[in-house]
A = this chain, B = another copy of it.
Amino acid sequence: MADEQTARERIAFLRGLRAVREFRPNPVPQKVIDDVLEVARWTGSAVNRQPWEFVVIRDRDTLRALAAADGFVGHMADAPLGIILVMAGDHAAQESFDEGRLSERIMLAAAAHGVGAGIGWFKPAGAETVKSILGIPRHRTVRTAIALGYADEGARGARPKRGQARKPLAELVHAERYASADLPVA
């Protein structure tokens, strides 16, 4: 058992993670980037395939070009830093699962330093644009961009939205069995 105070700090840290999509212009320090990449590198994956590479982008023109690609990535335009996940492109569902684990860890590693992060998705056409901009081989899968930076708390979009709430546990958790044994399962 971890000591009680450490456990409480870690749970509060995990529970408190929120997406950030409005950033101040301040750059992300190199040591934070180093930690983010190191935590990313140690992500677990099916059969330890580690089916990923990372393109780390600070160049404003490149970030703007990526933000304009088809998808939900507009918040990349004003982020001080972007990471594009390049997936091996072999095992669709398993790779998406591993990509989710990786993305969560990147967000958490940034948050460990007080740096915000927001996931963006490219649509298929946008992914082709990104491959062309960044010189990524066609057979790789590109779908996810993560923007990083210090949250601009004053920005309009940074205010908590109703839609960010979560379902109560009573709607999500089943003990021992999903349905009562005597109910029909449809």
Of chain B, the residue at the smallest CB distance from A180 is B135
In whole Å, how far is A25's beta carbon from the nearest beta carbon of chain B?
Answer: 16
Q: How far is the CA of A10 from the CA of B50 in the complex (A)?
A: 22
Q: Contacts A2-B112, A101-B104; is A42 near B185 (CB within 8 Å)?
A: no
Of chain B, the residue at the smallest CB distance from A40 is B172
Q: Contacts A101-B104, A113-B1, A135-B183; is A35 near B56 (CB within 8 Å)?
A: no
Q: How far is the CA of A166 from the CA of B102 in the complex (A)?
A: 13
Q: Does A125 contact B (CB under 8 A)?
A: no
Q: Which residue from B42, B59, B143, B169 sits with its C-beta under 8 Å from A37?
A: B169
Q: Which residue from B15, B55, B100, B173 sits with its C-beta under 8 Å from A178?
A: B55
A119 neighbours in B (Cβ, 8 Å):
44
Encode contact with B along A98-114: 1 for CB under 8 Å, 0 otherwise.
11111111011101111
Of chain B, the residue at the smallest CB distance from A16 is B42
A48 neighbours in B (Cβ, 8 Å):
163-164
Of chain B, the residue at the smallest CB distance from A136 is B178
**Interface set of A (CB-CB < 8 Å, partner B):** 1-2, 6-7, 9-11, 13-19, 35, 37-44, 46, 48, 50, 52-59, 62, 86, 92-94, 96-105, 107-109, 111-114, 119, 121, 131, 134-138, 143-144, 163-164, 166-169, 171-181, 183, 185-186
9 pairs, CB–CB < 8 Å, chain A vs chain B: A6-B112, A11-B39, A15-B42, A56-B173, A62-B177, A97-B100, A100-B101, A135-B179, A137-B179
